[in-house]
Structure formats: structure tokens, C-alpha cells
Amino acid sequence: MYSEIRQEARMMLQGLWTELVPVWFIFALITAGASAVFDGFGSLITIVIGGPITMGITRIFLKIYRKEAFEFGQMFDGFKEFNRTFTAYLLISIYTFLWALLLIVPGIIAALGYSQTFFIMAENPNISASDAMRQSKQMMFGHKTELFLLNLSFIGWAILASIPFGIGWFWLQSYIFASLTIFYKRIKGEAAVVTEPVNQPEPVPVDETIN
């Protein structure tokens, strides 16, 4: 299953690997800049902007999945619905942290349970953060191990991407996110093998239950 998902992800990203680099470069620049400028408040800034940016990136990859054109500036579209995206990111962070206080494993299980939240919100603009989180838990019932092993399958690539200076992560993150998008579509029951790359226009420059 995991090799099939990764193969679909590579097909999905044909011709787009380099075009997606600016998305991850800007994301890294923002998070690193927040840590440097705000010193001890870097993590707080990341929580504030994490939701909107996660939403923007999620929508970009859903567009790629549907073979629709995208612009890297759309990674900021989540700020148009700041309250909803910020709330989701904050709640997921809090619940995952609280479960992790018990043991690492419950924290991982909680994170896996909420993993589909932003995909659900991206496809359902009117759904609330809490409802999307509940739907994510329902979708992930019986699928947590699958997603955990899918993420685990990228460990080798993660090691290679870190040499030298972590530059490879600008490409690896697209590979991972594309795979997660396909995983979401599979468990939603809408998966389809992607056989052609998207045609891009010329650029113009609440309680957690452990299952």
C-alpha cells in the first residue's frame, strides 16, 4: 500500500517538484524568522500562523491532486479564514500535547486521529474546526496504523534529505504532503490513480478517544 501511495505521489508531482520549492522555502523562512525575531516567542508565533499556512498548503496539494493550476502565493489563502484555521491548529496542538503528557504513544495516536482535519476543512469551507476534528477522528478509526507506517516509510528519505544542510527537505516535503493527500482521498473513498501531471500556466511572477 505504502509503495503504491508513494508511486502515485511521484506521478502526481511530475513536472512540479521545482515549482513547489518556493512554498517550502517561504514556509521555512517564516518559521525560522519568527524564532529569530521573537526569540522565546517563536513557538507562539508558529501556532498563530501555523493554521492558516497549513490550510493554504493543503489546498495547493488538493488542487494538484485534481490536476488544477495553482500559484505558490495561495499558501497564504488560509489567512482569509484565520479564526477557523487558527482554532483548529491550536486545539490540535493542545490536545496532542495533553495526551503526550501521559506518554509519547497516546500523543502520537492523538496526532494521527486529528491528521485529516485540514483536508476536511479545505474541502468543506463551512465546517467548524471542532466538527472537522471530530470527522477526522471518525475517518481515522482503523487507519491510524496505516498512516503511522506511511510516515515511517519516509525515514530513509528524511536522512538523505538532511545531507547536506537539509536542502533536500524542500523537495521531500512535497513528496510527503502529496502522499498524505492521496492517503486522505483513499480513506475518504475517492482515491484515483493520477496518470498525468497538471498543466501549469506560465508563471507571472472534544475529548480524544484512543483507538
User: How many other C-beta atoms lie within 10 A of the C-beta of residue 140?
Assistant: 20
CA distance 125 to 119: 10
Mean pLDDT of the chain: 86
- At residue 7 the predicted structure's pLDDT band, cuts being 50, 70 and 90, is very high
Q: What does the pLDDT read at residue 34?
A: 66
Task: Please give the residue range of the domain that contains residue 133.
Answer: 2-188
Residue 202 lies in a domain: no
Question: How many structural domains are present in the chain?
Answer: 1
CA distance 150 to 147: 5
Q: What does the pLDDT read at residue 92?
A: 95
Residue 211 lies in a domain: no
CA distance 130 to 134: 6
Q: What does the pLDDT read at residue 191?
A: 46
With a CB cutoff of 8 Å and minimum separation 6, the contacts of 132 are 88, 117, 118, 120, 121, 124
Cell numbers found for residue 133:
476534528
- Kindly report, residue by residue over 156-198, the tens digit of the pLDDT: 999 998 888 888 999 999 999 999 999 999 999 854 444 344 4
Percent of the chain with pLDDT over 90: 67
